[in-house]
Amino acid sequence: MVDVTIIGAGITGSLIAHCLSRYDLKVLVVEKESDVAEGATGANSAMVHSGHDPKPGTLKCRYNLLGNRMYPDLCRELQVRYVPIGAYVAATSQEEEKKLDTLISQCIERNVPYEVLNGDEARKNEPNLSDSVSKVLSLPTTGIIVPWEVTIAAMEEAMLNGTELKLDYEVKSIEKKEDHFLINGEIKTKVIVNCAGAHCDEITGMLRPSPYRVEAKKGEYFVLDHLDGSFVKHVIYPIPTEKGKGVLAVPTVHGNVLLGPNSEFTPDVEDDSTGEGLDFIRSEVAKTVKNIPFHKLIHTFAGLRPHIDLNDFYIQEDDLIEGFIHVAGIESPGLTSAPAIAKDVCENMILPKFKEAKARENYIRRKPFIDMKEMSDEEKEELIRKDPDFGKLICRCEQISMGQIRDVINRKCGARTLKGVKMRCRPGMGRCQGSFCEPDVTNILMEELHKDVKEIRLDRPGSNICAALAKEDL
């Protein structure tokens, strides 16, 4: 029998698995998609918010503040990137300046480091702040991460320490038996943690009427090519509104810039198409920044916030069904909050049920992904001498070698799809968006996974790439 089954391998499910992997428990993570981080975790602003903004007294506020403080150490432990880039919240009118004062008071109450600048002072550091910006709240503890990198690393390390991950496994039924649950009529488990994002209410509904209902709020983005700080150096927020934090300009860890998101309810919790919100983003972002290099646009995408009608996170053991733990409504600032949520759920909701569980001895740490861009020429030469595949360039835009692609496939929680390779080491993320390298990456996946081309997927179950894409090139 499994001790703990986690439904959903987004950042919350993966970090809970990671926390639990420190103990000698039998932990299983089930995920309906073909990889981890395929839900909201795979499409967002990638920011570790400082905690200046959530409503006082909410779980969002509490976990945001704790999570923000945990990220630097967590990322160091997992050997993934965390960049304390800082943020500017920009006011452009007297009315907005008053709202900024409320945020400043919240920073004081919450012990969030801050500085206040006038428009000219701020423009000295950020020349592309719009001329109408009159006052700025600077938040130095705002960070940026690669959300799927944190998730993959957490799951990889959990798996190195005994956690089992079942991909392409959709939970369709749960029965409550006397001392366990039965998932899909086959998995016996003592505890279930519901981290199913946009499908949390369906999972709960398999056992009882759900106390919350999920509605998806779509957020669309433009992605600009590598600008490496030449456009903005900080995250630029407008003044928040009832709809959320507003349309941002966000430098990414890899030197791109995201512009977005909007925030619109959408009836289909899986509809991540883009289009309708992009004009709005274009006009909104121009209120806080100028000289936007739209000619550097390389991509658009959308993410879906799993909003629940209780307007806060819902994190607790079910009041009727012992052993069923809700981690629901994890919309923004869910990424920031995830380490603190995972610690709380693990230490205060799960471990008290397994008093005999001991800390695992000889805990195995993961090795970082091989990033040749960060290496000196000598280090690269040494690597290529040991394995010539590191000298074969596959992705010209992002400078990724065949050796790096093989490495991300042949790991615990390794890539199984084209998107999986792209998330782990970036072929296809550059300005050609994979037009040149996709056939080669397909070829490598076929070789490493011993699969036929028809079995190689773009991403989710059913998305097998067509033979036409692969034909002569392969």
Tell whether residue 417 is a contact of ligand FAD (CB under 6 A).
no
Tell whether residue 70 is a contact of ligand FAD (CB under 6 A).
no
From the list 105-113, 326-334, 378-386, 412-420, the region that binds ligand FAD by CB under 6 A is: 326-334
- Of positions 153, 195, 232, 394, contacts ligand FAD by CB under 6 A: 195
Q: For helices 11-20 and 147-160, give the axis angle rounded to 10 degrees.
A: 30
From the list 325-333, 353-361, 363-371, 392-400, the region that binds ligand FAD by CB under 6 A is: 325-333
Tell whether residue 5 is a contact of ligand FAD (CB under 6 A).
no
CA distance 442 to 419: 11
Q: Which residue of the chain is nearest ligand FAD when measured via CB? A: 334
Tell whether residue 49 is a contact of ligand FAD (CB under 6 A).
yes
Q: What is the CA radius of gyration of the chain?
A: 22
Written in H, E and C, the secondary structure of the chain is: CEEEEEECCCHHHHHHHHHHCCECCCEEEECCCCCCCCCHHHCCCCEECCCCCCCCCCHHHHHHHHHHHHHHHHHHHHCCCEECCCEEEEECCHHHHHHHHHHHHHHHHHCCCCEEEEHHHHHHHCCCECCCCCEEEEECCCEEECHHHHHHHHHHHHHHCCCEEECCCCCCCEEECCCCEEECCCEEEEEEEECCHHHHHHHHHCCCCCCCCEEEEEEEEEEECCCCCCCCCCEEECCCECCECCCEEEECCCCCEEEECCCEEECCCCCCCCCCCHHHHHHHHCCCECCCCHHHEEEEEEEEEEEECCCCCEEEECCCCCCEEEEECCCCCHHHHHHHHHHHHHHHHHHHHCCCCCECCCCCCCCCCCCHHHCCHHHHHHHHHHCHHHHCEEECCCCEEHHHHHHHHCCCCCCCEHHHHHHHHCCCCCCCCCCCCHHHHHHHHHHHHCCCHHHCECCCCCCECCHHHHCCCC
Tell whether residue 404 is a contact of ligand FAD (CB under 6 A).
no
Which positions from 259 through 298 interact with ligand FAD, judged by CB under 6 A? 261
Tell whether residue 303 is a contact of ligand FAD (CB under 6 A).
yes
Tell whether residue 32 is a contact of ligand FAD (CB under 6 A).
yes
Q: Which is nearer to ligand FAD, 199 or 326 (CB)?
A: 199
Q: How far is the CB of 455 from ligand FAD (least distance, A)?
A: 21
Q: How far is the CB of 460 from ligand FAD (least distance, A)?
A: 9
- Of positions 6, 16, 25, 30, contacts ligand FAD by CB under 6 A: 30
From the list 29-37, 81-89, 110-118, 446-454, the region that binds ligand FAD by CB under 6 A is: 29-37
Written in H, E and C, the secondary structure of 68-107 is: HHHHHHHHHHHCCCEECCCEEEEECCHHHHHHHHHHHHHH
Tell whether residue 465 is a contact of ligand FAD (CB under 6 A).
no
As given in the structure block, the two tokens for residue 394 are: 């596959």
- Of positions 331, 344, 398, 438, contacts ligand FAD by CB under 6 A: 331
Q: Which is nearer to ligand FAD, 7 or 20 (CB)?
A: 7
Tell whether residue 12 is a contact of ligand FAD (CB under 6 A).
yes
Q: Which is nearer to ligand FAD, 338 or 470 (CB)?
A: 338
Q: Where do we find the tokens 């209780």? A: 310
Q: Which is nearer to ligand FAD, 336 or 443 (CB)?
A: 336
Q: How far is the CB of 97 from ligand FAD (least distance, A)?
A: 24
Tell whether residue 329 is a contact of ligand FAD (CB under 6 A).
no
CA distance 299 to 274: 10
Q: Which is nearer to ligand FAD, 47 or 104 (CB)?
A: 47
Q: How far is the CB of 315 from ligand FAD (least distance, A)?
A: 10
CB 16 within 8 A of CB 3: no
Tell whether residue 204 is a contact of ligand FAD (CB under 6 A).
no
Binding mask 332-371 for ligand FAD (x = CB under 6 A): xxxxx-----------------------------------
- Of positions 97, 170, 279, 455, contacts ligand FAD by CB under 6 A: 170
Tell whether residue 44 is a contact of ligand FAD (CB under 6 A).
yes
182-186 long-range contacts, CB within 8 A, separation 24+: 183/5, 183/30
* Residues catalogued as catalytic: 49
Q: How far is the CB of 181 from ligand FAD (least distance, A)?
A: 14
Q: How far is the CB of 423 from ligand FAD (least distance, A)?
A: 13
Tell whether residue 406 is a contact of ligand FAD (CB under 6 A).
no
- Compute how many residues bind ligand FAD; rule: CB under 6 A: 41
Q: How far is the CB of 435 from ligand FAD (least distance, A)?
A: 26
Q: How far is the CB of 332 from ligand FAD (least distance, A)?
A: 4
The site for ligand FAD (CB under 6 A) is made up of 7-13, 30-33, 38-41, 44-47, 49, 170-171, 195-199, 203, 219, 261, 303-306, 330-336
